Structure 1
Amino acid sequence: MENNAKKLLEQYLSGNCTPEEAAIVEEWYLQLPFERVAPGHEQIETSQQEVFQKLHFPRKVKRIVLLKRIAVAASILLCFTAGLYYLNRKTETAALLVKKELKDVLPGRNKAILTLADGTVVDLDQAKNGEIASQNGIIIRKAQNGQLEYVIQDNPSAVTGNNVISTPRGGQYQVSLPDGTKVWLNAATSLKYPYSFKKDERVVELNGEAYFEVAKDKRRPFRVITSNQVVEVLGTHFNINAYTDEPSTKTTLLEGAVRVDNGRGFLDLHPGEQSQLDFNSSHLTIARGVDLDQEVAWKNDIFAFDNADLKTVMRQISRWYDVDVVYKGNITTEKYFGDIPRNSNLSEVFKILQLNHIDVKISGKTMTITGN
């Protein structure tokens, strides 16, 4: 039994497994928990029995790959053969030193700054639940779930000016706008919107990434302005990724219909489609059959990667953990696949990078990645 398992793992490493055999190995790996200490003898024995059972009773499973194949196989071989957490003492010592510095880098959480029209700044993380501000019949309050809400009591036509809600790196927040539209803000994002929308339109300005569930109002179209495009809707669900350090602005439609206009032309999107506006060329294209779950994974507290390069992965990690990333040497162009919970500490994410032979050094809040 043991020899059969080892043989399969060797085949997996060399890429000679059938899709069914590869799925068995990868599914077993995904069941391994992220441990903060080396696995004990009992856990190793239990894990061996689990994989042996799967080897003797193969079945079709959903193939989920966590980053790279070599990472999966390396993890299995380490736990399966020796029960060691690292390849050797030198690797163990270096990894533990980095992990010690990483262990206190917690994932992001709900935190944001609200700037009112009169210049008042409210730290929503520190603000107590209940009323935050009141002006001419509009009450701004923080709900028990942390969400920011606007309650309109009287005719708000006399209210003018804009609010700005901003999340830092390592923060996220949800706001319910005066018209009932719900917006989820990702890290390093700001949204500018009026106290009260006009009678003929609703306009907000976005920097960063946000998911919108727009309240239906046929008389007043809802427009989202970013640095290089305008998205217009009546009532729908969509996601906009407009970070300036990304190569393009992506607008993904989940429900309803939207029009994306970059000043040179426009595209009408249907559910499952995504517009991609290149920052350099201003060329606007459309992608169909988009994986919607992946595009809004951040809203569901997941990092989701599908054929992403290392720098794309690290841009997301940088924003969520509030760390800077520096690259040295020849950085790998290999692609990464899989999901990582966004509530993981940075040390757990580092574990995956280490298994993929990524050399990471930490100084303060700067991660230096050296290419092989």
Structure 2
Amino acid sequence: MEDQPDISSLAEKWLNGTITPAEKQQFEDWYNRQPGLSIEWLKDETADELRKKIFLSIISRLETTPAIPEEAPVIDMPRRSKWRQRVSVAAAVLMLLGSTVIYFYISNNKTTTRQMPVAGISTGAIMTGKTKATLTLSDGTVIQLDSMKTDQIVLQGSTSVYKNEDGEIVYEPGSNETGELYNTLTIPRGSGLSSVMLSDGSKVWLNVESTLRFPVAFSSKERKVRVTGEAYFEVSKDASRKFLVETEGATTEVLGTHFNVNTYEKPEEVLVTLLEGAVRVSNPAAQEQLLQPGQQAEVKPVGIILLNKMPDLEAVMAWKHGLFKMDNSDVHTVMAQLARWYDVEVRFEKDLEDIRFSGTISRNTDLAKVLEMLSMTKEVRFRQEGEKIVVYPF
């Protein structure tokens, strides 16, 4: 009888890029022996799709588990899995919502078992997606972007403002712009995301509970905007005019680059993550930090700037791709994300800082389903009190 390969070890090597061609073939042969799986999946699928298939197959086939209804599939990890040594996991929770696979690792020594739907939480869908964003013009007029038609043009000085077919707000400068007129794009809690193309061609995406204040046409000397909350920038190159992003705690200077700015935790505590190009981050204490692609600067309110050379870029950019991505995130951070996205209040009965989650969830998932998944970890429970979600331990 053929020996069973160490699938956990092979999958771990594939995920971290250390698998050899022979091991890769062994893993593919094992995978294709499983019922209902396509042939040559390693050659044709994207990395994300492969990762989902690996977890589905390994977790569901290496250990026999009792039948559980489709709406709440929970499977224990193998007790001798080598993954346990690397990420200190004791359980995995999988849920199939449409075409989205969600998986969690729980950093404790408990065993995950089946959990019924969250007690006290309405099963009615609490979702977002409708853009509640507003655009405040220089004269104080507020435009609801959802009601703005694609053929509607608003003049700000000689600059034309309109919404294109993709729903993006576009600023098209005129030839005789005089003076500085400022507009503010606001994305409230519970809204879908929104983006704007500034007069120089730079693009900005705003996360929920965020604002962007900017001139309708930039001056000939510099390009300066101000952000609260979180925003992702793709800045047009212009060697003659630097691009400045101001927040309460930092200034980010660029010439042309892609980067993310996050001020959610505290306005004076800023995370700047660089994806492409180069930026210089400075604080009111006159300290500076140059970033290379893939690096992150953390501006602290005490006047220092910390450099993170290996941030989780997928986690940083998950919001722009319609995802919640948790990377050993504490429950307070996770619930803060949910509160902003679903526009709900959250209250904690106890200090639960030691409870952490890792995983990925589509932002198109209704809130009750998200809370149900989190409760399956047997770490936290939820109940609804009016407009608030109360979090308490098991």
TM-score (norm 1): 0.78
Q: Does 1:74 align with 2:95?
A: no
Amino acid at match of 1:325: V
Deviation at 1:137?
2.4
Fraction of identical pairs, as percent: 32
Aligned: 1:141 with 2:162: yes
Aligned to 1:273: 295
The answer for unaligned runs of 5 or more in structure 1 is: 36-63, 79-84, 87-91
8 A contact 2:348–2:390 mirrored in 1 = yes
Indicate yes or no: 2:322 matched with 1:258: no
1:259-313 Cα distance to aligned partner (Å, 9 max, x none) = 000022000000010000123x232110002221221110000111111110011
Matched residue type, 2:382: V
Give 1:156 deviation, angstroms: 3.8
Q: Is the 8 A contact 1:199 1:220 kept in 2?
A: yes
Q: How many residues align?
A: 322
Which structure 2 residues correspond to residues 112-151 of structure 1 after superposition, within 5 A? 112-151=133-172
Is contact 2:76-2:90 (8 Å) kept?
A: no
Quote how far apart the aligned CAs of 1:155 are.
1.4
1:202 CA drift (Å): 0.1
**Letter aligned with residue 83 of structure 2:** P
Residues 26 and 96 of structure 1: CA distance in aligned 2, closer, same or farther (over 3 Å): same
Report what 1:197 is aligned to.
218
1:139 is paired with a residue of what secondary structure?
A: strand
Unaligned 5+ residue runs, structure 2? 1-59, 67-74
Per the alignment, in what secondary structure is the counterpart of residue 33 of structure 1?
strand
- CA pair 223-332 structure 1, distance change in 2 beyond 3 A: closer
Q: Counterpart in 2 of 1:347?
A: 368
User: Do structure 1's residue 303 and structure 2's residue 341 form an aligned pair?
Assistant: no
Change beyond 3 A, Cα 1:16–1:203: same
Give the whole-Å Cα distance in 1 for the aligned partners of 2:166 and 2:109.
Answer: 38
Conservation of the 8 A alpha-carbon contact between 1:13 and 1:69: no
Say whether the 8 Å CA contact 1:131–1:139 is kept in structure 2: no
Task: Tell me the secondary structure at the aligned position of residue 177 of structure 2.
Answer: helix
Indicate if the aligned counterparts of 1:117 and 1:162 stay in contact, CA closer than 8 A: yes
SS at match of 1:243: strand
Alpha-carbon distance change, 113 to 13 in structure 1, aligned in 2, over 3 angstroms: same
What SS does the corresponding residue of 1:313 show, helix, strand or coil? helix
State the secondary structure of the residue aligned to 1:296: helix
How far apart in 2 are the matches of 1:71 and 1:106? 33
Determine the C-alpha separation between the residues in 1 that align with 2:371 and 2:203: 34
Q: CA deviation at 1:29?
A: 5.5
Partners of 2:265 and 2:105 in 1: how far apart? 25
Alpha-carbon distance between aligned partners in 1 of 2:105 and 2:179, rounded to the nearest angstrom: 51
Partner of 1:181: 202
2:334 aligns to what? 313
Alignment root-mean-square deviation, CA: 3.4
1:167 aligns with 2:187: yes
Deviation per residue, 1:100-157 (Å, 9 max, x gap): 3xx23113443311000111110112222222411332110011211100122x3143
Q: Given that residues 274 and 286 in structure 1 are in contact (C-alpha distance below 8 angstroms), is that contact kept between their aligned partners in structure 2?
A: yes
2:254 pairs with one of 214, 230, 233: 233
SS at match of 1:111: coil
Q: TM-score, normalising length from structure 2?
A: 0.73
Structure 2 match to 1:216: 237
